[in-house]
Amino acid sequence: MNLFCYTAETTITEVGQFVRTKPLDVYRAAINAGMEVHGPQYWIYNGFDGNPNTRFTLQIGVPVDSITESVAGYSVVAIPATECAIAVHNGAWSELAASYEKLIGEVLASGRSLSGIAREAYLHIDFNNPKNCRTEIQLGLLPL
């Protein structure tokens, strides 16, 4: 998947500053550059370890068909296929931690190890009624 994205170094406690505003910037920049958006916004957490104070690389992006031109402040990265444990969280993002805890517990109970990459695909966003939100959580797994 080609992901047109904005990248930042942040922590979980700081990540809220990007909600709503940065995804809109990403969509606008991609469309203004003539790219076709082909899916929901993704937030990718590289180096995420669950500690709220650990700095990690955050990519906020949208899948695009192809690269038409470079855009200052953004990049297009090829997101490789990777084995993931997946769960769909239905409800407010303030309750995402419970879904993560459950999925992580299932992964560890199965004897698998996490790769340190987490992705969230925002399948349905409803700021007026957060209980209607639908988010796919993807946790990268280390090879067997």
Tell me the per-residue pLDDT of 16-75, one tens digit each, with 9 for 90 and over: 999 999 999 999 999 998 899 999 999 999 998 878 899 999 999 999 987 766 799 999
User: What's the pLDDT tens digit per position in 94-119?
Assistant: 999 999 999 999 999 999 999 999 99
CATH topology of domain 1-80: Multidrug-efflux Transporter 1 Regulator Bmrr; Chain A (3.20.80)
- Looking at domain 82-144, its CATH class is alpha beta
**Domain ranges across the chain:** 1-80, 82-144
| Identical fold between 1-80 and 82-144 | yes
Q: Which among 114, 110, 79 has a CA at the least distance from the CA of 100?
A: 114
State the Cα angle at 114 between 108 and 116, rounded to 5°. Answer: 145
Q: Which residues neighbour 101 within 8 Å (Cβ) at sequence distance 6 or greater?
A: none
- The yes-or-no verdict on residue 81 having pLDDT over 90 is no
End-to-end alpha carbon distance in the chain: 24
